[in-house]
Amino acid sequence: MNQENNLNRKIVELCLLAGKIMLKSGAETRRAEDTMRRIASSFGIHDSQSYVTPTGIFFSLSEANATKLVRISERSTDLQKVAIVNNISRKITSGELTIEEALKELKAIAKADLSYPVWLQIIAASLVSGCFLIMFKGVWGDFLPALIAGGAGYAVFIYIHKMIKLKFVSEFMASFAIGVIAYFAVLSGWGTSMDKIIIGSVMSLVPGVLITNAVRDLMDGHFASALSKSAESFLTSLAIGSGIAFVFFLQ
């Protein structure tokens, strides 16, 4: 009996850890729930119950078992971790990994920082800004101002977010910095189209994955998750728009 209880405890721990990593890394609700159910089913638990929201995971091996809760306080976008957890789940399903081996790998993934270096993120944001400027039919003369504004804005976003763990403040300040740089670039004659520079530069701040997941959750019937993610993406968009609007108000 004790051996069975210990096995069930490890299965619950494994499922919750897999779901937690995926949810914190930007996976949609359905993917997290499906992965947890598949892992439990691989160990002979075919009637597991899981309920995932953007801020927490509820999981039970059956309706008769106690429900465990994991709180999700921070979320980011790290699709590499999502892919790794999916791969571990497939290995568990095919019998390549034991519970202990899977737990060891998941704990290592949870602790690992797989994000790109900050300098590389800033360079990528710069290039994205310049490319979006051209895609939105901007002129090549505005490419360099958009490059600088996008990189500087993203650097401000990272720096402010490290000091103040409030995403919307960092997004507001980042978009404000982008607006100021675009304004002075046009004022000095270095740039020609302020709106195109701003639109291209803020694209690295736009919550694309969040909006996509909100639509996916809505289509899958996860209305609570869809509404909360939609609200979060709306507030993010509002913060970005407010930062730009504040620049126009001050000029």
Clarify whether residues 143 and 195 are in a common domain: yes
pLDDT at 179: 92
Domain boundary among 76, 111, 146: 111
Which residue ranges in the chain fall short of pLDDT 70?
Answer: 1-4, 63-64
**Predicted TM-score of the model (pTM):** 0.80
Clarify whether residues 69 and 103 are in a common domain: yes
- Locate 123 and state its tokens: 């360079």
Domain around 207:
118-250
Measured in degrees and rounded to the nearest 5, phi and psi for residue 206 equal -65, 130
pLDDT at 75: 79
Clarify whether residues 99 and 125 are in a common domain: no
pLDDT at 164: 81
